[in-house]
Structure 1
Amino acid sequence: MTDSHYAARRVFAQHVPFAPTRYQCFDAARLIAESVVGTAPDVSCVIGIASGGIEPARLMADYLRVPLHFVTAKHNKGDTPWQQATSNVEVVVDSSLPECFVGTVLLVDDIAGTGATFSAVSEALNGRLDDDAAIMSAALFRNRGCTQPPDRWAWTVNDWVVFPWERPHHGSTQPLPPLRQVSAR
């Protein structure tokens, strides 16, 4: 799927990558999950966008006590730091996904670089939504260049992020500022 609407570009200061700890990522996922409690309609399931959204989605689904599902969406050419994402997002919806979702479906990824992935996955799920269903998006990080931010996120960054579930970065990294609050649009 190509979407020229997403001409946004990720912003990278290109100093050194941010390197959140597993605990920081888990704490952010918990805080985001807490922030969606009471959403109308209630969150009925969590869908993690593979591969980066798998870990935070597991935590959010566990916290919310709702079913967990996965979809795959790719548009990066690899995991080399400071690369711009393409606007060509390939979404693979597994046949094990329910045919019809009700309530609020919480889409989860580790980072929103431009917003294109959330848009493409939402579009791929549109035919599976009940008339009263809604999609809400959440990411641990939002790149400063993201023009279509998720509905919830923990940190806004202006550099590459190396996640604890990715291949380790062998250079310098920078710590994250303390998480003060979950941001919402």
Structure 2
Amino acid sequence: MTRTAQRVFEHQRIWRVTPDALRQACLLLFAAISRDHPEVDHVIGIANGGVAPARILAGRLGVKSRSVKARHNADDGVYRQATGKVAVDFDAFRRGLGRKKLGGTVLVVDDICGSGATLYKLRNVLIPVLAPDARVITATLCLNTGAETCPDYSVWTVSDWVSFPWEKRPDQPTVDMPIPERATSHA
């Protein structure tokens, strides 16, 4: 299914998530998720952007972090709208599981929920590897106001481009994202 939601860009600033803001955001996500889900059995980071926050959360939750590659943008240019088509490279992830099915609570993590299409696609792609008792929850650092599908948890709501620590810094000036004070549950 092709998703057509458009990310909102007000073109007022490019937000920059600093390493300190990233650590605090992950701590807040961990607290909110742990409050609602006393046990998380699996953490999956959506590569590339979800890998770092997934590793941080998995470490706090005491579970192994896995990753699955997904691509929604045509390129890495600033203010680019997503294509509406999410390409997922699921083969390596599936091979890593072998015949194992993921049971219990499965946390899927990404850096940003722009339109919601990547989270939507990942929920569906995971179905064949989920045990009957599995429950998928999602968390992102940022949620764009144009998203059609919300994650279960997010930290910042944005209406402009966001630059993350693992990305090449934009050529334009950036504004540091404020250190967050809470995570939001959208569930």
State how 1:110-129 maps to structure 2 within 5 Å.
Answer: 110-129=111-130
SS at match of 1:18: strand
Note the alpha carbon deviations across 1:8-30, whole angstroms, 9 max, x for none: 10000112210110111121012
Aligned partner letter, 1:20: V
With normalisation by structure 2, the TM-score equals 0.92
2:47 is matched with 50
Supply the RMSD in Å over aligned alpha carbons.
1.4
2:162 is matched with 161
Note the alpha carbon deviations across 1:9-67, whole angstroms, 9 max, x for none: 00001122101101111210121012111545721010000000111000000000011
Identity %: 37
SS at match of 1:59: helix
SS at match of 1:135: strand
State how 1:100-115 maps to structure 2 within 5 Å.
Answer: 100-115=101-116
How many residues in Structure 1 have an aligned counterpart in Structure 2? 182
Q: Give 1:79's match in structure 2, choosing from 54, 58, 76.
A: 76
Aligned partner letter, 2:112: I
Structure with bigger helix share is: 2
Partners of 1:27 and 1:41 in 2: CA distance: 20
Q: Cα–Cα, structure 1 residues 66 and 172, in superposed 2: closer, same or farther, change >3 Å?
A: same
1:66 is matched with 63
SS at match of 1:96: helix
Q: Which runs of 5 or more residues in structure 1 are unaligned? A: none
